[in-house]
Structure 1
Amino acid sequence: MIRNQAAIDFLEGRYSCGKLTSPAPSAQEIEHMLTVAMRAPDHGGLKPAHFVVIQGGGLDRLSELFVEAMTNAGADEAKLAKAEKMPYRAPLIIAVIARYKEHPKVPRIEQIQTAGCATLSLQQMAMAYGYNGIWRTGDIVNSPIVRQAFDLAEQDELVGFLYLGTEEGNGLCRKPPVIEKNVSYWS
């Protein structure tokens, strides 16, 4: 029995989009999105997810950081130019970090998963507000320079960067899911 068709329709319509422009969520919307993200499944109630909201001049700072990280990794000029532009793919980025807390019953992987669930919740909330986004990682999340800039301890994990904004070309990123290759059944 379907109890909330609107919720089902919303979840069936979720998709990522990297073609983003202004406007981004407002300060009030961001605060609400973060509040909902903190409701992600969280064994032990450890609240390992930490969020860094990056916009305006923060995008410039992130661009400089990415260039420094890629320079340190020995990237060529083309990769450096790409790294410099990466933060400007959206008007708002939220970096999501799993800050590991030692616990006898909650392993590190569960804490990382909590931060991942929080990231999904952020994107779903953005979509509920009429925006969209895309979760990006890549080698940059493991860069020692990036890890240091985000003050990550050895056991912490930069789960990724959630790029958020208004979708360009309404619906162009939407692709129907195909589950056959990704599902098996044990009966």
Structure 2
Amino acid sequence: MPDPNPAALDFLQRRRSVPAKVLTLPVPTADQLQPLLSAALRVPDHGKIEPWRLLVVTGGALARLADLAEARATELGGDAEKIAKGRGQFDQGHLAVVVIASPKDHPKVPLSEQTASAACVCLSLVNAALAAGWGACWLTGWVSHDRGFAEPAFGLAPQESVAGIVHIGTAPAAPVPDRPRPDPAALTRWMTE
């Protein structure tokens, strides 16, 4: 017989990421962030190989990353929108956790499972932050996928990639409007035979 946790299920059905651009100070201290990181790392990890690592970015590091994003976008011939998107994620942020997919050479754990595990860390971190009362969201964007930016910015090894950049801070007092959510019935098929 199941042992339901209605409060947890209610939280998951109502959870709502908070856009990074509206997150404000304060942000979690190192001591407040530690249990969120611990919760985030309780994800499926077949083979217990820990195919991810975390990089916490605050303060002057955010300003440095904004400058690097602008320089890289300019180098790529990016327009004002690309520059603004690259800079904005770091200019407007106060604390970000970069979740880095760091796959291991493993005979039994395929790369796809390792990549999925890193994505699970991103969502688990957002949910842990929201459950703790912070605002949080998971972003990617071109800065996550452009090797010319991500390798020097985040110290990526050749086999690593950015699974996501999770921004955490104080949510605005007014609730953030929700977006339309998918209809499970429209997306679910039951196979009984």
Instruction: With the length of structure 2 as denominator, give the TM-score of the two structures.
Output: 0.87
Percent sequence identity is 35
Distance 1:154-1:184 versus aligned 2 partners, 3 A rule:
farther
Aligned to 2:191: 186
Number of equivalenced pairs: 187
Q: Distance in 2 between matches of 1:78 and 1:171?
A: 28
- Greater CA drift, 60-69 or 73-82: 73-82
**Residue 78 of structure 1: CA displacement?**
4.2
Q: Deviations over 1:74-130 (max 9, x none)?
A: 112343244222213332111110111000011111111111111111111111111
Q: Which of residues 91, 112, 115 in structure 2 aligns to 1:88?
A: 91
Query: For 2:7 and 2:109, how far apart are their aligned partners in 1?
Result: 34
1:14 and 2:15 equivalent?
yes
Q: Aligned pair in 2 of structure 1 residues 75, 181: CA closer, same or farther (>3 Å)?
A: farther
TM-superposed deviation, 1:17: 1.6
Q: What is the SS of the residue equivalent to 2:66?
A: helix
Counterparts of 1:29-48 in structure 2, within 5 Å, are 29-48=32-51
Q: Of residues 48, 51, 55 in structure 2, which corresponds to 1:52? A: 55
Aligned-partner Cα distance in 2 for 1:81–1:38: 32
Question: Unaligned regions of 5+ residues in structure 2, if any?
Answer: none
CA RMSD of aligned residues (A): 1.9
CA distance 1:109–1:158, shift in 2 (3 Å): same
Is the contact between residue 100 and residue 160 of structure 2 (CA under 8 Å) also seen in structure 1? Answer: yes
Range with bigger deviation, 46-55 or 137-146:
137-146
Q: Does 1:28 align with 2:31?
A: yes
Structure 1 partner of 2:77:
74
Deviation at 1:144, TM superposition (A): 2.1
Give distance in 1, aligned partners of 2:177 and 2:52. 28
Residues 25 and 182 of structure 1, relative CA distance in 2, 3 Å threshold: farther
Alignment of 1:29-178 (within 5 A): 29-149=32-152, 150-175=154-179, 177-178=181-182
> Are residues 182 and 165 of structure 1, via their aligned partners in 2, closer, same or farther at CA, if it must alter by over 3 Å?
farther
The more displaced of 163-172 and 119-128 is 163-172
Q: Distance in 2 between matches of 1:23 and 1:182?
A: 39
Give structure 1 stretches of 5+ with no counterpart: none
